[in-house]
Structure 1
Amino acid sequence: MRLRNKPWAVKLVQDHPESVIDRPDPSQKINWSKRFADISKPLEIEVGPGKGKFITTMAEEHPEKNFVALELQMTAAGMILRTKLAKDLSNLQILCADAANIASFFDSHSASKIYLNFSDPWPKTRHEKRRLTYKSFLQKYQTVLQENGQIEFKTDNAGLFAYSVHSMNNFGMHFDFVSVDLHNEKDEIVAANIETEYEHKFAAQGNPIYALHADFGVK
Structure 2
Amino acid sequence: MRLRKKWWARPEMEASDLIITNPRDYKGKWREEFKNENPIHLELGCGKGGFISKLGDKFKDTNYVAVDLKDEILVYVKRQVEELELTNVRIIPLNIMFISEVFEENEVEKIYINFCNPWPKDRHNKRRLTHTNFLNEYKKFLKPGSEVWFKTDDRDLFDDSQEYFKEAGFNLEYVTYDLHNSGFKENIMTEYEEKFSSQGMKIMFLIGKVK
Tell me the TM-score normalized by structure 2. Answer: 0.94
Tell me the TM-score normalized by structure 1. Answer: 0.90
2:192 to 183, 192, 198: 198
Which piece of structure 1 moves more, 163-172 or 106-115? 163-172
Match of 1:210 in 2: 204
Distance 1:147 1:25 in 2: 23
How far off is 1:54 after superposition?
0.7
Equivalent runs, 1:181-192 vs 2, <5 Å: 181-186=178-183, 189=184, 191-192=185-186
Match of 2:155 in 1: 158
Identical counterparts, % of pairs: 35
Distance 2:81 2:4 in 1: 20
Contact between 2:31 and 2:38, CA under 8 Å: does it hold in 1?
A: no
Secondary structure of the structure 2 residue equivalent to 1:211: strand
How far off is 1:49 after superposition?
0.7
Distance 2:105 2:81 in 1: 27
Matched, 1:131 2:125: no
Matched, 1:35 2:29: no
1:167 to 160, 164, 168: 164
For structure 2, the 5+ residue unaligned runs are none
2:111 to 114, 129, 133: 114
Distance 2:127 2:69 in 1: 13
Match of 1:47 in 2: 44
How far off is 1:5 after superposition?
3.8
How far off is 1:50 after superposition?
0.3
Distance 1:213 1:57 in 2: 20
The one-letter amino acid paired with 2:35 is A
Distance 2:207 2:2 in 1: 26
Secondary structure of the structure 1 residue equivalent to 2:173: strand
Secondary structure of the structure 1 residue equivalent to 2:144: strand
The one-letter amino acid paired with 2:18 is S
Match of 1:19 in 2: 18
Distance 1:183 1:104 in 2: 35
How far off is 1:31 after superposition?
2.8
For structure 1, the 5+ residue unaligned runs are none
Per-residue Cα deviation, 1:129-178 (whole angstroms, up to 9, x for no partner): 11101111111111111001000000011111011011112222111110
Distance 1:14 1:33 in 2: 21
Secondary structure of the structure 2 residue equivalent to 1:35: helix
Secondary structure of the structure 2 residue equivalent to 1:207: coil
Indicate how the Cα distance of structure 1 residues 27 and 35 shifts in structure 2: closer, same or farther if over 3 A, else same. closer
How far off is 1:27 after superposition?
8.2
1:67 to 58, 64, 69: 64
Distance 1:31 1:95 in 2: 15
Distance 1:183 1:28 in 2: 37
